[in-house]
A and B are shown apart, each in its own frame.
Chain A
Amino acid sequence: MNMRVLVIEDDIEHAQFIEKVLGEAGHNVETVGDGVGGLVRAREDQFDALVVDRMLPEKPGLQLVEEYRNAGGTTPALFLSALSEVDNRVEGLQAGADDYLAKPFAPSELVARVEALGRRQTQGEPPVTQLRVGDLEMDLLSRSVHRGSTKIDLQPREFKLLEFLMRHAGQTVTRTMLLEKVWNYHFDPQTNVIDVHISRLRSKIDKEFDHQLLQTVRGAGYCLQA
């Protein structure tokens, strides 16, 4: 999946880093160094995702996203900010951003989150009732999971975890993303609690089968792939 990403970031070194990271992941990146110019570019061209710094010259990121949304802009946006507290996160999401990433971040975290935004965009309108990755099927209405003809029993949380992985199939999702989106917590436990949940889920969906769907991406996170 090749995405066009608009990065609005005034710190040149940071901007180059983001450009490099996203570029290596196969995406096209355009960089703008101030808020006003960023808003203009976001409006006149169709990007797949916006990456916006909170503190920008000319126009703060918060205001930029708010104005962009008020004018009917739909491209998903990700805030980058050194302000990482929960309140700041909530502020960012209320302004109309779709995700929030605190600086400093691991490159894989940025790529994972930007790609998650792109997927959101292409998912389209009709609500999905069935998810499928390879021979793994999830029925969201009856809340049942099958792999091939085998029925798989999952705990509610495992179901939610698998649902998130299936919705982002083919993308790398990070541990922080899982803790945020599946458990709704915004802190870093020192113990690798997420890894253990993943390995439990893996034992249910992959153990009896030859083809392993749930992969560990070294130094980044996990990826569910057919």
Chain B
Amino acid sequence: MKSGPFAFIRTTTFRLALVYSTLFALFSAGLLTYLYQATVGASRAEATARLEAEFRTLAVAYNRGGPERLEQSLLERALVRVRDFTYQFETVNGRTIVGDMPRMPVDTSDDLGEVRRVTFEVERPFADRSTDITTIEGRIVRLDNGSVLLVGIKMDERNRLVQRVTFAVATAAPFGIILALLGGFFSASYASRRAEGLTRIAEAVMGGDLTQRADIGSSGDEFDRLSERLNAMLARLEDLMAATRHAGESIAHDLRSPLSRLRNRIEAALSDDMTVETARDTLAQTVEEVDHVLSTFSAILSLAKVGTASGETFEQIDLSELAEEMAELFEPACEESELGFESQVEQDLNVIGDRALLAQAISNLLDNAIKYSPAGGAIAFTVSAQDAGVRLSVIDSGTGIPEQDRERVKQRFVRLDRARTLPGSGLGLALVDAVAQLHKGQLLLDSAGHPDPNTGLKVSLILPKRV
């Protein structure tokens, strides 16, 4: 990551905090505006409404009883102590008839009957020489006899409310923005801390340490899910690395001995006096040995390939059809080896898998059955639905495998003593096992259920329908 005095600007933390605080500021502004409208605005509207109602009442009084009735109404109102209205009634030449103020505080209009809105301030001195400025909202009209009426309503209360709300808004806003920044910072720093954790894992893995795992929290959020997948991926990578390393070691280990044998044979042949005949024999043996090395080599490679395969070549396979083809391919070979062959294949069993590998696996199982069954024996090949998958079994009438060896023979290059005299690389079952694992299936070895426990082996390949 790039560093510098302003590197923090590029961090998610900073950006998120900024976004959060902007959003919060906008929200606060909206809320305060609404609050202002709901209180101050409403209060103002109410005052104006009252002012207009009062003005209309007086207008009615004037219309009904002329200036005298109006004057009387105003005088009645002057007797009421607590009121927020203020009145000023003047004659056409400016003499005050009824009035709270010494003179008309605003200009009067010359147009008769036209009501004007006015706002003005009245200064009232107190005993302690301080003054109180009152804001008044008023309606003024020149009546048809030329006299002027002004009705006002004191807005002080409302103005104080305005001040308080404004003050509240002014004090609250910075706190709100600070809170928003903090909130943004904390939530963003949580995200960035988690991301930072993943970055560290990635760096460790790049450095060759595949054992690192990301922390998984308990909340099950996106980061937990990402960490889980990442860990699963790392586990898979670790397996693959181990498989590759293992294959490499096996190649080194298992090809070394036949290659040294080969070398010794050639060296011995070189030091002998050779006739064309013996040279030919030696070379023929050598070719045979090399072929063996090569086939072991390809077996190791295909085993390694199965171990590292990912299932991308998987497709829908009619396993019944594949099994029948394999049965058809091997049936004559059984007959040739004087073995009875019986196959029972249930129809329309589909699995998702790799066709070539499954064919190879079935072929290995049938190869083994033929190889280890004595003449006169029998082989049964069955394919049937089982639970959520398919069970593919090969039962032979060979000598079986003792219970304690049944897991061991799945390993590479493990050959039991009684099998050593027969050709084979010791990789056949290991490959079937690897194919089973690739398909999330199982390879099971069992006795064939023959009365003599040393007769017969039942090898089953269990494949789930979906991988």
Which residues of A pack against B, CB within 8 Å? Answer: 84-87, 104, 157, 183, 185-193, 195-197, 199-200
Does B305 lie at the interface of the complex (its beta carbon under 8 Å from any beta carbon of A)?
Answer: yes
**In the complex, which residues of chain B have a beta carbon less than 8 angstroms from the beta carbon of A196?**
332-333, 335-336
CB–CB A187/B367 < 8 A:
no
Question: Chain A nearest CB: distance from B359 CB in Å?
Answer: 6
Check A185–B359 contact: CB distance below 8 A: yes
A193 to B369, CA, bound (A): 13
- CB pair A189 B332 closer than 8 Å: no
Give the residue of A189, A190, A199 whose beta carbon is less than 8 angstroms from that of B423.
A190
Chain A residues whose CB sits within 8 angstroms of the CB of B360 once the complex forms: 187
CA distance A149 to B360 in the complex (A): 41
A191 CB, nearest partner CB in chain B, Å: 5
Question: Once the chains are docked, how many angstroms separate the CA of A14 from the CA of B417?
Answer: 40
B 249-274 contacts with A by CB, 8 A: none
Residues in B whose Cβ lies below 8 Å from that of A195: 336
In angstroms, Cα B355 to Cα A87, docked, is: 12
- Chain B residues 414-447 with CB under 8 Å of chain A are 423-424, 428
The answer for the CA separation of A193 and B335 in the assembled complex, in Å, is: 11
B70, chain A: closest CB distance, angstroms: 107
Are B332 and A193 touching (Cβ within 8 A)? yes
Indicate if the CB atoms of B367 and A190 lie closer than 8 Å: yes
Chain A residues with CB under 8 A of B294:
104
- Contact: B329 with A193, CB < 8 Å? yes
Kindly state the separation between the CA atoms of A191 and B369 in the bound complex, as whole angstroms: 10
* A89 closest partner in B (C-beta): B356
Q: Are A189 and B313 in contact (CB under 8 A)?
A: no
> B73 at the A/B interface (Cβ < 8 Å)?
no
B-chain residues with CB within 8 Å of residue A104 when the two chains form the complex: 294
Contact (Cβ within 8 A) A187 B336: no
CB pair B356–A191 under 8 Å, yes or no, is no
Scoring B residues 267 to 305 as 1 if CB is less than 8 Å from chain A, else 0, what string do you get? 000000000000000000000000000110010001001
Assess the A192–B333 pair: CB atoms within 8 A.
yes
Which residues does B use to contact A, with CB under 8 Å? 294-295, 298, 302, 305, 313, 325, 328-330, 332-333, 335-336, 356, 359-360, 363, 366-367, 370-371, 423-424, 428
Query: Is A190 in contact with B356, judged by CB distance below 8 angstroms?
Result: no
A41 to B167, CA, bound (A): 93
- The minimal Cβ–Cβ distance linking B404 to chain A, given in whole angstroms, is 26
14 contacts between A and B (CB under 8 A): A157-B328, A185-B359, A187-B359, A187-B360, A189-B366, A190-B423, A191-B367, A193-B329, A193-B332, A195-B336, A196-B332, A196-B336, A197-B332, A199-B336
Closest to A187 in B: B360
Contact assessment for B325 and A183 in the assembled complex, using a CB-CB cutoff below 8 Å = yes
- CB-CB nearest in chain B for A192: B333
**B335 CB contacts on chain A under 8 angstroms:** 196
Supposing A187-B363, A190-B423 touch, asked if A84 and B336 sit within 8 A by C-beta, the answer is: no
Measured between beta carbons, the chain B residues less than 8 angstroms from A200 are: 332
Q: Which of A186, A188, A192, A197 contacts B356 (CB 8 A)?
A: A186
How close is A14's CB to chain B, nearest CB, in angstroms? 15
Contact A183 B329 (CB under 8 A): yes
- Given A187-B359, A191-B330, A191-B367, 5 new contacts (CB under 8 A): A185-B356, A186-B356, A187-B363, A190-B428, A191-B366
Cα–Cα distance between A86 and B306 once the two chains are bound (Å) = 12
Q: How far is the CA of A190 from the CA of B330 in the complex (A)?
A: 11
In the complex, A87→B335 CA distance in Å? Answer: 34
Which of B294, B335, B360 is the most central at the interface, judged by chain A CB atoms within 10 Å of its CB? B360
Q: How far is the CB of B283 from chain A (nearest CB, A)?
A: 14
Interfacial chain A residues near B367, Cβ < 8 Å: 189-191
Enumerate chain A residues within 8 angstroms of B302, measured Cβ to Cβ.
85
B295 partner residues in chain A, CB cutoff 8 A = 188
Of chain B, the residue at the smallest CB distance from A157 is B328
- Whether A87 contacts B313 by the Cβ 8 Å rule is yes
User: Smallest distance from the beta carbon of B259 to chain A beta carbons, Å?
Assistant: 15
Q: Ordered nearest first, which 9 A-B pairs have the shortest CB separation?
A: A196-B332, A196-B336, A193-B333, A196-B333, A190-B367, A187-B360, A86-B356, A191-B333, A189-B363
- For A183, the chain B residues whose CB sits under 8 A away are 325, 329
**With A183-B329, A196-B336: A190-B298 Cβ-Cβ less than 8 Å:** no
A190 with B371: CB separation less than 8 A: yes
Query: Which residues on A sit within 8 Å (CB–CB) of B336?
Result: 195-196, 199
Q: Are A84 and B298 touching (Cβ within 8 A)?
A: yes
How far in angstroms is the closest Cβ of chain B from A132? 27
- With both chains docked as a complex, state the minimum distance between the C-beta of A178 and any C-beta of chain B, in angstroms: 11
Evaluate contact between A191 and B370: CB separation under 8 angstroms: yes
Which of chain A's residues has its CB closest to B290's CB? A104
A199 cross-chain contacts in B, Cβ below 8 A: 332, 336
Q: How far is the CA of A157 from the CA of B363 in the complex (A)?
A: 18
CB distance from A22 to the nearest CB of B (A): 19
Residue of A nearest to B369 (CB): A191
- In Å, the complex CA distance between A85 and B335 comes to 31
A187 touches B356 (CB 8 A): yes
Chain B residues with Cβ under 8 A from A193's Cβ? 329-330, 332-333
Taken together as a complex, chains A and B put the C-alpha atoms of A193 and B360 apart, in Å, by: 14
- Option from B305, B329, B332, B423 in Cβ contact (under 8 Å) with A85: B305
Q: How many Å lie between the Cα of A142 and that of B363 in the bound state?
A: 33
Docked CA distance A48–B363 (Å): 36
Query: Chain B residues near A84 (CB, 8 Å)?
Result: 298
**What residues of B have a CB within 8 angstroms of the CB of A192 in the complex?**
333
CB contacts (< 8 Å) of B332 on chain A: these are: 193, 196-197, 199-200
Whole-angstrom distance between the Cβ of A93 and the nearest chain B Cβ: 14
CB B244 to nearest CB in A, in angstroms, measures 15
A102 to B294, CA, bound (A): 12
Question: Which residue of chain B lies nearest to A103 when distances are taken between CB atoms in the complex?
Answer: B294
A191 to B364, CA, bound (A): 9
Q: Separation in Å of the A197 CB from the closest CB of chain B?
A: 6
Among A86, A193, A199, A200, max chain B CB count under 10 A is at A193
Q: What is the bound-complex CA distance between A158 and B302, given in angstroms?
A: 30
How far is A188 from B424 in the complex, measured between Cα atoms in Å?
A: 13
In the complex, the chain A residue whose C-beta lies closest to that of B423 is A190
B56 shortest CB reach to chain A, Å: 95
CA distance A193 to B362 in the complex (A): 14
Minimum Cβ distance to chain B for residue A79 (Å): 17
Question: B328 — nearest CB in chain A belongs to which residue?
Answer: A157
Bound Cα distance from A183 to B322, whole angstroms: 11
Docked complex Cα distance between A157 and B333 (Å): 15
